[in-house]
Amino acid sequence: MKLNFDLIKKMGHEQVTFCYDPASGLKAIIAIHNTSLGPALGGTRMYPYETEDAALEDVLRLSRGMTYKSAAVGMNLGGGKGVIIGDPKKDKSEALFRAYGAFIERMKGQFITGEDVGMDVNDIEFMFMETDYVVGLSRGHGGSGDPSPKTAFGVIEGMNACVERKLKRKSLKGLTVAVQGLGHVGYHVAKLLHQKGAKIIGCDVDKEAMTKAKKEFGIKMVGPDEIYDVTCDIFSPCAMGGILNADTIPQLKCSIVAGSANNQLKNDKEDGQALQDRGILYAPDYVINAGGLINVALELEGYSERRAMILIRNIYYNLKRIFEISEEQQIVPNRAADQLAEERIQKVCGIRRAHFLDKSKIKRNCL
């Protein structure tokens, strides 16, 4: 995927920045998709991409998803994302994250970031040494800490909307849920499902994550390639994106797809329709997984956990509205979500303009 202006035009991006620091070995890409509603907010993930093209494709798709996520859940924020090319188990260092933080500082508030796949609060703390334009900080620095539990809470609220719509049930108790990925968010999704009395089948490429989840929740484990074929009520993708495609969708034996992973559909149009044709209700990923975004965004105005939980509960109502639009207009749920987001962007903003976050307006409720 060679970057050119035609590609940026096609995907609707405003800016793509390549970051390289030879001293620390940093190789990163920051993509700002749309700042019509406000400065771009999106996490940074660290992943050992096989090629730079793969990293570019990922950051472009993820940043576009953040635009739709912010718009769909009513946030006054734009969409952006960052990726660091590297192995989070071997390549992390203070110098690397401080160098990345310095690049973010140079953007002067156009892009605000936090943790994503392969990152944790310690990495954000290093970035914070160079820039204020980060969220997901520890409570000691006025942040909200790890956003994973809040993302998982939003996913469970979304599952409740799905089972009410599809299965005519008010509870997850007794339902079988296949959780693909037991890392940061997937672990907390499994924990909440366990507390609610659901039966869980899980998988992860990380043996440590599998062992931990099995020990704590008694999860039945299957191989990463077998998870698509298990009989369940809900299939919950909580790992990487692009996993719902022409090869995997025919394997599914579920009534609902509802999980935390970003960009779950390999091809939005064809794969969204394929799920609908099979009678599977799909919870659009950027709506059901918005809990983390809502949570960290509140750090910018002074974090309140109580307010965060109230706002994240609205994911239940957002999905109900999307399912209503889907039925009323005879369109797939992911298209209904897109329409909701696009209409808000068009109504709220008359012009495309750059937004900059004034540091003096960032409030940190330090302990």
How crowded is residue 314: how many other Cβ atoms within 10 Å of its Cβ?
Answer: 17
Among 111, 134, 157, identify where a domain stops: 134
Q: Is the pLDDT of residue 83 over 70?
A: yes
User: Average model confidence (pLDDT) for the chain?
Assistant: 92
Looking at the fold, whether 163 and 278 belong to one and the same domain comes out as yes
Q: Is the pLDDT of residue 351 over 80?
A: no
Give the confidence band of 81 by pLDDT, cuts at 50, 70, 90: very high
Looking at the fold, whether 109 and 207 belong to one and the same domain comes out as no
Looking at the fold, whether 90 and 207 belong to one and the same domain comes out as no
**pLDDT tens for each residue of 178-225:** 999 998 899 999 999 999 999 999 999 988 889 999 999 989 999 999
248 inside domain? yes
| Among 210, 254, 207, CA closest to 228 | 254
Q: Do 141 and 362 contact (CB within 8 A), yes or no?
A: no
Q: In CATH, what number is assigned to the domain containing residue 35? A: 3.40.50.10860
CA dist 272 and 264 (Å) reads 10
Q: Is the pLDDT of residue 241 over 90?
A: no
Greater model confidence, 184 or 331: 331
46 inside domain? yes
CA dist 262 and 288 (Å) reads 10
Range of the domain at 119: 5-67+77-134
354 inside domain? no
pLDDT at residue 128, rounded to an integer: 95
Q: Which residue has the tokens 């005879």?
A: 330
Q: How far is CA 84 from CA 101, 119, 124, in A?
A: 12, 10, 13
Domain tally, the chain: 2
Looking at the fold, whether 123 and 265 belong to one and the same domain comes out as no
Q: Is the pLDDT of residue 117 over 70?
A: yes
Rounded mean pLDDT, 346-357: 65
Looking at the fold, whether 104 and 82 belong to one and the same domain comes out as yes
E-strand ranges in the chain read: 15-21, 26-34, 40-41, 44-47, 78-85, 111-112, 176-180, 199-203, 220-221, 234-237, 256-257, 281-282
pLDDT at residue 182, rounded to an integer: 94
Looking at the fold, whether 96 and 243 belong to one and the same domain comes out as no
Q: Is the pLDDT of residue 365 over 60?
A: no
Looking at the fold, whether 216 and 299 belong to one and the same domain comes out as yes
Give me the count of residues in the chain.
Answer: 367
| Amino acid identity for residue 317 in this structure | Y
Q: In CATH, what number is assigned to the domain containing residue 189? A: 3.40.50.720
| Among 288, 284, 280, CA closest to 268 | 284
Looking at the fold, whether 115 and 201 belong to one and the same domain comes out as no
Give the confidence band of 147 by pLDDT, cuts at 50, 70, 90: confident
274 inside domain? yes
pLDDT at residue 233, rounded to an integer: 98
- Using CB atoms within 10 Å of the CB of residue 207, give its burial: 0 to 12 exposed, 13 to 18 middle, 19+ buried: exposed
Using only the alpha carbons of the chain, give its radius of gyration.
Answer: 19
355 inside domain? no
Q: Is the pLDDT of residue 364 over 90?
A: no
CA dist 243 and 76 (Å) reads 30
**The token pair that represents 44 in the structure block:** 């940074």
Looking at the fold, whether 222 and 121 belong to one and the same domain comes out as no
The residues assigned a catalytic role are 81
Looking at the fold, whether 12 and 99 belong to one and the same domain comes out as yes
**pLDDT tens for each residue of 273-328:** 999 999 999 999 999 999 999 999 998 888 889 999 999 999 999 999 999 999 99
360 inside domain? no
Q: Do 185 and 153 contact (CB within 8 A), yes or no?
A: no
CA dist 308 and 65 (Å) reads 21
**The token pair that represents 78 in the structure block:** 């734009």
Looking at the fold, whether 290 and 172 belong to one and the same domain comes out as yes
349 inside domain? no
**The token pair that represents 23 in the structure block:** 């001293």
| Among 261, 254, 206, CA closest to 65 | 261
DSSP-based three-state secondary structure for 98: helix
**The token pair that represents 306 in the structure block:** 């109580």
pLDDT at residue 242, rounded to an integer: 87
Q: Do 221 and 202 contact (CB within 8 A), yes or no?
A: yes
Give the confidence band of 8 by pLDDT, cuts at 50, 70, 90: confident
Rounded mean pLDDT, 225-251: 95
How crowded is residue 344: how many other Cβ atoms within 10 Å of its Cβ?
Answer: 18
Q: Do 191 and 168 contact (CB within 8 A), yes or no?
A: no
125 inside domain? yes
Q: Do 35 and 353 contact (CB within 8 A), yes or no?
A: yes
Q: Do 192 and 149 contact (CB within 8 A), yes or no?
A: no
**pLDDT tens for each residue of 85-111:** 999 999 999 999 999 999 999 999 999
Give the pTM. 0.82
Looking at the fold, whether 109 and 195 belong to one and the same domain comes out as no
pLDDT at residue 367, rounded to an integer: 47
